[in-house]
Structure 1
Amino acid sequence: MTTTALPTADDLQAQARSALERCGVDLDLLTGEQTSHSPINGETLANLSWTSADEVDACVARARDAFAIWRDTPAPARGALVRRLGALLMEHKADIATLVSLEVGKITSEALGEVQEMIDVCDFAVGLSRQLYGRTMPSERPGHRLMETWHPLGVVGVISAFNFPVAVWSWNTAIALVCGDPVVWKPSETAPLSALACNAVLQQAIAEAAAPANLSQVVIGGADVGQRLVDHQDVALISATGSTRMGQAVGQRVAARFGRCLLELGGNNAAIVTPSADLDLTVRGIVFAAAGTAGQRCTTMRRVIVHESVLDDLAKRLTSVYERLPIGDPTTDGTLVGPLIGGSAYQAMTAALGQAQDEGGKVLVGGERQLADAASDAYYVQPAVVQMPQQTQIVTRETFAPVLYLIPYTDLDEALSLNNAVPQGLSSSIFTEDQAEAERFMSAAGSDCGLVNVNIGTSGAEIGGAFGGEKETGGGRESGSDAWRTYMRRATNTVNYSGELPLAQGVDFSV
């Protein structure tokens, strides 16, 4: 089911300007030679100037100056700033969500959910500001105390991708700020307006808290700007979200200067569907994870490893739901599938479907372009389900589009092997009513992913848990749990109050 009417360029530009103005963005910034397009209609959304690579150096220098003040600010006071940021994000939730929809094509409920995720991580970080715990360990020497303390790390560079244009920034920024670190943010080139709005909201919070003005800065530009940030000796941590290829380049460059990296890269996420699975629940979990955000999440479900006894039933159910998915303008009520980010994503999807058929796959539903007559430069597609005879070459590669492969299995050992037999290791699920199967899936010999779920899909992680994956996903962890340690440096402290000088390990060095 496809809606046919799309908004005009004037309509979208007016919405964007109104949202930006309410967030406190100077509209004079919307001048320049670089054009931003909306995937909703493929037309110009705004023009603006990009930051030059040379300007990155000045931003980092200002951040270093802010760090000298912020690292000595008590952590609970740093948390007060983040508390105010969360309140302002709540106030501007609808405006930022509007910009997210206009720039990357998310349906309204998903865009609002992304901003809610920002608010939630601020709540988490505020509590964390009073819990940056170290440890005290027993010393082997009498009259000594052995402990560890955690200190602010330095300037954090954040490079974010288009599919979560604001949430990923907030995961890093809220935690970095309570840990005592300033942030320099290089957003996706496709989502500069969302970044300007978020930065303006944070700048208001900074001013109200009388915090250093340059705790947060945005550098908008292309690969040269990102590379300058990656290579800068004064950037202590680079948190980068994107493709595996990008992460390989970033990781090597940061390692060459002995900096730190937090990488969130590709995903090729699978769900195992067992004979005991509740198929009604399973279908709901699969459809959101596979078709939500038009298949453009790093946690999007791309493979369903389904027991041969329920394969035909599940395939029929999924095909029926996919045929009825409402596709079109993401800002319209009732739409569930918005546009792809651009033509290259559509081409990648078409190529993947062609290769899947060459490798023996059968397209059960989807793959066709929609609304091409209404907007030639906008790329709407019907999400596709492809039944494969086995896990072939194309299935092991991530295609950042709504293509879902169904792969049969005969026993759980085979299913676990298929789940793990891809280079990526981000998210995974099992649908089962058998407790033993669930426990095996979560065990050390089960899924090798960073996110391992039971009876839910692969998308929709909560901020309380650490988010990230293994293998070519990069190994990074953001958001909850103890991910805060990435943004701090550890010191091991030994205090001698004995009046003597015994050496460790019984060493005798008397003089």
Structure 2
Amino acid sequence: MTSIAKETSGLLAKLGVSPGALSGGDLGVTSPVTGEEIARVSQISAKDAGKAIDEAHAAFLKWRLVPGPRRGELVRLLGEELRTHKEELGRLVSIEVGKIPSEGLGEVQEMIDICDFAVGLSRQLYGLTIATERPGHRMMETWQPLGAVGVISAFNFPVAVWSWNAALALVCGDSVVWKPSEKTPLTALACEAIFARAAERFGDDAPEGLLKVLIGGADVGEALVDHAKIPLVSATGSTRMGRAVGPRLAGRFARAILELGGNNAGIVCPSADLDMTLRAIAFGAMGTAGQRCTTMRRLFVHESVYDQLVPRLKKAYESVSVGNPLEGKALIGPLIDKQAFEGMQKALDAAKAAGGSVTGGARVDTGDADAWYVRPAIVEMPSQTGPVLEETFAPILYVMKYSDFDEVLVSHNAVGAGLSSSIFTRDLQEAERFLSPEGSDCGIANVNIGTSGAEIGGAFGGEKETGGGRESGSDAWKAYMRRATNTINYSKALPLAQGVSFDID
């Protein structure tokens, strides 16, 4: 057993995962840090996935009757367990995904934060009292639990995405069926074990089957999406995945929360604080090796400050440390796999063919043949064309000049996949226009901060093509519930249509 595999096994043992779950399976798990296999886990069949969903539905029928504040207590205990095991789970994220330690720990902190949010929410599942035209009546809305909800998560945030959905769904009275990425099953097993301890502490009010984890391939995902007892699927991933999932859910009138691609852009205006802007762009574009859905991928720089900003940005790209995130102080870890590296090189070749000038982008040799480290790339483009219009899940930042603010707003919005956006300016009018109806069309629009860093409490922005992304905070809890309108007659008579009467003597 290699050292990284041994460390992984030790972490999972501390987190409560049985050693037998890590060997003998049909799915090999590799760490992008070294490219080594660190475990072999068993996948579930589509047929068995259906059985698990039935069990989750049975759990929902019991869980929906537990009062909301009591359901919140389970999520509070989950948050406690996450606090206790933050170091181990954060380290496991770094090993399985290749994030630097601070990002692995930061992801677990997001899980803790959403638990705190959801605990408070469990006492605030409010409905409105509605004015009615009928005398002697009261009309109100009531929010009821929805069912067993499906969660499909991607590799880049292997644990946070589950928690954003699960914490809200649980306090809303739903059970959860989770299909993690095939690239990150170990962190899912760890979360399952952590949740099991919280449920054990909670007691008998937590029915068996409240959380089901389905490790498997596309057929298991399809079984989850197509199952009649799953009224909602929250899916995070590529726009390609979303185009497959959305119509299947619509075909049976199920709900979808789709957090998909992000060809996110920033605009640097003449009045921008360039020191602050430089730091924000560097973090937003290079962090997590460009493998965030909120990564900055396009940058429009006003021609008056272009020559001041871009050379400094290039210098930052050339000097940033790239290497093993588990050792030393590297700020950029690996791409998830060879396929991601090849996709990046293909995009850079296309950019060169379109007249782009590339700085960086080469593979960084760490001595591990199956680990795919790259130097982040800046591509100065003559216009927004070719690969600039497509999202490549890698650290590529396309930089373009602009001169007219009205035109740059059009260019900013002229891509399909857009989740987050930002503008750097000290001009109040520019900032307000960017946030206005004629400004950014993304779900997240920031001023003087980068595109990344979505915070608990504000519902995640959503992929603009679908308009379906509303996981996490704000009023997103309503997606996990169904609304009923109730009318109560407290008068002595039932008002009828004018001129209509019945003789009831």
TM over 0.5: yes
Evaluate the alpha carbon distance shift between residue 172 and residue 137 of structure 1 in structure 2; reply closer, same or farther with a 3 A threshold: same
Q: SS of the counterpart of 2:186?
A: helix
Q: Which region of structure 1 is more displaced relative to structure 2, 153-162 or 202-211?
A: 202-211
Q: Please give the alpha-carbon distance, in whole angstroms, between the structure 2 residues aligned to 1:423 and 1:144.
A: 48
Q: Please give the alpha-carbon distance, in whole angstroms, between the structure 2 residues aligned to 1:43 and 1:333.
A: 19
Which of the numbers 488, 501, 504 marks the counterpart of 1:510? 501
Q: Please give the alpha-carbon distance, in whole angstroms, between the structure 1 residues aligned to 2:463 and 2:59.
A: 34
1:276 aligns to 2:271 (yes or no): yes
The amino acid across from 2:143 in the alignment is: W
TM-score (structure 2 length as normaliser):
0.97
Q: Is the 8 A contact 2:324 2:330 kept in 1?
A: yes
The within-5 A match list for 1:468-479 is 468-472=461-465, 474-479=467-472
Aligned to 2:22: 30
The within-5 A match list for 1:362-441 is 362-363=357-358, 365-371=359-365, 374-441=367-434
TM-fit CA distance, 1:279: 0.6
Aligned to 1:305: 300
Aligned to 1:118: 111
TM-fit CA distance, 1:473: 5.5
Q: SS of the counterpart of 2:2?
A: helix
Q: Please give the alpha-carbon distance, in whole angstroms, between the structure 2 residues aligned to 1:444 and 1:168.
A: 29
Q: Please give the alpha-carbon distance, in whole angstroms, between the structure 2 residues aligned to 1:338 and 1:255.
A: 38
Q: Please give the alpha-carbon distance, in whole angstroms, between the structure 1 residues aligned to 2:500 and 2:316.
A: 77
Which of the numbers 246, 249, 263 marks the counterpart of 1:254? 249
Q: How many residues in Structure 1 have an aligned counterpart in Structure 2? A: 499
Q: Please give the alpha-carbon distance, in whole angstroms, between the structure 1 residues aligned to 2:498 and 2:439.
A: 46
Aligned to 1:482: 475
Which residues of structure 1 form unaligned runs of 5+?
A: 1-8
1:290 aligns to 2:285 (yes or no): yes
Q: Please give the alpha-carbon distance, in whole angstroms, between the structure 2 residues aligned to 1:48 and 1:338.
A: 25
Aligned to 1:4: none
Query: What RMSD over aligned residues (CA atoms) do the two structures have, in Å?
Result: 1.1
Q: Please give the alpha-carbon distance, in whole angstroms, between the structure 1 residues aligned to 2:68 and 2:155.
A: 31
Aligned to 1:328: 323
Which of the numbers 77, 82, 87 marks the counterpart of 1:84? 77
TM-fit CA distance, 1:508: 4.7
Which residues of structure 2 form unaligned runs of 5+?
A: none
Aligned to 1:354: 349
Q: Please give the alpha-carbon distance, in whole angstroms, between the structure 2 residues aligned to 1:171 and 1:156.
A: 13
Aligned to 2:207: 212
TM-fit CA distance, 1:510: 2.5
1:192 aligns to 2:198 (yes or no): no
Q: Which region of structure 1 is more displaced relative to structure 2, 421-430 or 327-336?
A: 327-336
Aligned to 1:224: 219
TM-score (structure 1 length as normaliser):
0.96
Aligned to 1:54: 47
The amino acid across from 1:29 in the alignment is: A
Q: SS of the counterpart of 1:214?
A: coil
Which of the numbers 94, 99, 104 marks the counterpart of 2:87? 94
CA distances 1:141-192 after superposition (whole Å, capped 9, x unpaired): 1100010000000001100000000000000000000000000100000110
Runs of 4+ in 1 over 6 A off after TM superposition: none
Q: SS of the counterpart of 1:404?
A: strand
Q: Which region of structure 1 is more displaced relative to structure 2, 390-399 or 466-475?
A: 466-475
Q: Please give the alpha-carbon distance, in whole angstroms, between the structure 1 residues aligned to 2:250 and 2:347.
A: 34
TM-fit CA distance, 1:393: 2.1
The amino acid across from 1:80 in the alignment is: E
Q: SS of the counterpart of 1:146?
A: strand
Evaluate the alpha carbon distance shift between residue 150 and residue 366 of structure 1 in structure 2; reply closer, same or farther with a 3 A threshold: same
CA distances 1:401-437 after superposition (whole Å, capped 9, x unpaired): 0000101111211111111000022100000011111
CA distances 1:323-352 after superposition (whole Å, capped 9, x unpaired): 111101111241110000011111111011
Q: Is the 8 A contact 1:203 1:213 kept in 2?
A: no
Q: Is the 8 A contact 2:238 2:260 kept in 1?
A: yes
TM-fit CA distance, 1:507: 5.2
The amino acid across from 2:421 in the alignment is: S
Q: Is the 8 A contact 1:266 1:473 kept in 2?
A: no
TM-fit CA distance, 1:469: 2.3
Q: Please give the alpha-carbon distance, in whole angstroms, between the structure 2 residues aligned to 1:227 and 1:494.
A: 40
Q: SS of the counterpart of 1:235?
A: coil
Aligned to 1:238: 233
Give the percent of matched residue pairs that are identical in Structure 1 and Structure 2.
Answer: 61
